[in-house]
Amino acid sequence: MQKTVWKLVPNLSINSREELLDCYRSSLEALNRSPKTISWYLEILRRFFSFLDSGKSMKPINELGPQELRAYILDLQKATKWANSPNITEAKGPLSPYSIQGHVRAVKAFWSWLLEEGYIEENPLMKFPLPKVPKNIVKTLTIEQAKQLLKRIDRHTPIGAKYYSILLLILDAGPRVSEVVGIKMSDIDMAHCCVKVIGKGSKERIIPFHKFTKKQLLHYLKTFRPQLCEKDSPYLFPDCDGEHISINSVQQFLRRLANKVDLQGAKVSAHIIRHTFATLYLAKGGSDLALMEIMGHASIQTTQKYTHLQPQHLQHLHAKLSPVEDLTRGKL
């Protein structure tokens, strides 16, 4: 017999919603979703329910559907980034179309779970369309801009050497920042210039790094890492307590670093540096399939959507491959 939450708790009170979200959390944990992903889903669902409460639109769970989700989208389109963040005093403009689409994905995923678990008899959001997002090309860094960033880091201090190594590793092999901070000492194979990282879905993969990166890592390990914490930490990049440093600490360091360097409007983040690696890798002749393995993508389609060549790279490749090049040399 199917469970029907709306019969047990007709008004879907706050307490009953939390019980339902606890069940959803347990289900996501059983599927081995990352804590960050689970937190993201639950935060969005609580915001959705809070929106319905504020507009007195809360109904029994089986009566909620497209009308409520459309109203939520309109509300998100009027919202501002970081509006409720205790650590950021000023809002930073409207939510991006990507963020809004992410909210809709999370709500639709929850409704699919409600149907699978028997809480509802049909899913009114199954065919609800995702809001469109612009297909903008992310402007990556040039190799000269990357050099400028690296040069501004003081490699002669423990903190500077740590972040220099992190930035260099992302630029060299494209790991996600979440993967870099979680690297353990036992994951590094200096002899073969590679390191094991744990990606999305707890999937492990081996990524290579350049001999220059190896040299920097060895210098960091020998000279500066012992000064970063008193405890014997298992992590390659520990904080003062011996735990791995946070993703936020890396992003904050990059923001401060970008403010010191005039990059002519180019944005700087760990994701953009990862994207820069992918773009430069393809520009130098790397294959999509090899890049897919290095970056930990589940499909080649993801890699192809994620990477692109900047105009200067396209121009360089075209100059070498154009039939007109052979024509000018008398080969045609």
Q: What does the pLDDT profile of the chain (332 residues) look like in tens digits?
A: 444 444 443 445 555 788 899 999 999 999 888 888 899 999 999 999 999 988 776 778 888 899 999 999 999 999 887 555 545 455 568 888 989 999 999 999 999 999 999 888 899 999 999 999 887 667 788 888 999 999 999 999 999 999 999 999 999 999 999 999 999 999 999 999 999 999 887 888 999 999 999 999 999 999 999 999 878 899 999 998 889 999 999 999 999 998 888 777 778 899 999 988 888 888 777 777 788 888 887 766 666 665 565 555 555 555 665 555 555 565 54
Torsion angle (degrees, nearest 10) of CA 226, 209, 255, 85:
-80
Rounded to whole angstroms, how far apart are CA atoms 185 and 171? 20
HSE (side-chain half, CA atoms, 13 Å) at 74: 8
Count H helices, E strands: the chain? 15, 3
Q: Which two tokens stand for residue 56?
A: 């007195």
> What is the distance between the terminal CA atoms of the chain, rounded to a whole angstrom?
76
Starting at the edge strand found earlier in the chain, the sheet holding 194-198 runs 188-189, 194-198, 204-208
Rounded to whole angstroms, how far apart are CA atoms 231 and 120? 51
By the 8 A CB rule, do 98 and 133 touch?
Answer: yes
Helix (H), strand (E), coil (C) string for 133-166: CCCCCCCCCCHHHHHHHHHCCCCCCHHHHHHHHH
What fold does the segment set 143-320 form as a domain?
A: hpI Integrase; Chain A (1.10.443)
Tell me the CATH number of domain 5-116, given options 1.10.287, 1.10.3470, 1.10.150, 1.10.101. Answer: 1.10.150
The length of the chain in residues reads 332
**In the chain, where the domains are located:** 5-116, 143-320
Q: Is the pTM of this model over 0.85?
A: no
Write the CA distances from 151 to 159, 195, 254, 276, integer angstroms. Answer: 15, 25, 13, 17
DSSP structure class, residue 202: G
Checking 13-16 for CB contacts under 8 A at 24+ apart, the result is: 14/53
DSSP structure class, residue 81: T
Rounded to whole angstroms, how far apart are CA atoms 71 and 76? 9
- pLDDT of 292 reads 83
Which H or E element spans position 189? strand 188-189
Rounded to whole angstroms, how far apart are CA atoms 211 and 112? 48
Q: Which two tokens stand for residue 183?
A: 């690297």
